[in-house]
Amino acid sequence: MESENQKVISEAEELPRTIVRHVVKEKLCHDDDDMSVHKDALLAFSKSARIFIHYLFTMVYVCLIVECECNANDICKELKRQTINADDVLNALQ
């Protein structure tokens, strides 16, 4: 059952094959050559793009969290408190 769930998640995360094929051909093909790209190569491009996208989203998320913590910390300093609570974090997000 667990492997089926992982397969569904994996399929949901896959990039559309036609788009991957189009981008790869557009970037690798010169002078309107009719070029075919092997299925394994498309899979490798798709997987590397997916990893890169996850990396970007992780970096954005981390930056937002760090900025929020800094802002929440500033709020606590203004109120002369040492503990950040949930309201401080919510106010920092606004």
Domain holding 7: CATH number? 1.10.20
pLDDT in tens, the chain (94 residues): 556 555 554 666 678 888 888 888 888 877 666 778 888 988 898 888 888 888 888 887 777 777 777 777 787 788 888 887 777 777 776 6
pLDDT of residue 8: 52
- Domain hosting 20: range is 2-93
pLDDT of residue 89: 73
Phi-psi region of 84 (alpha: psi -120 to 50; beta: other; left: phi over 0): beta
| Spatial contact of 71 and 92, defined as CB atoms under 8 Å apart | yes
| Spatial contact of 81 and 64, defined as CB atoms under 8 Å apart | no
Q: Which two tokens stand for residue 86?
A: 């949930």
CA 71 to chain centre: 24
Task: Tally the domains of the chain.
Answer: 1
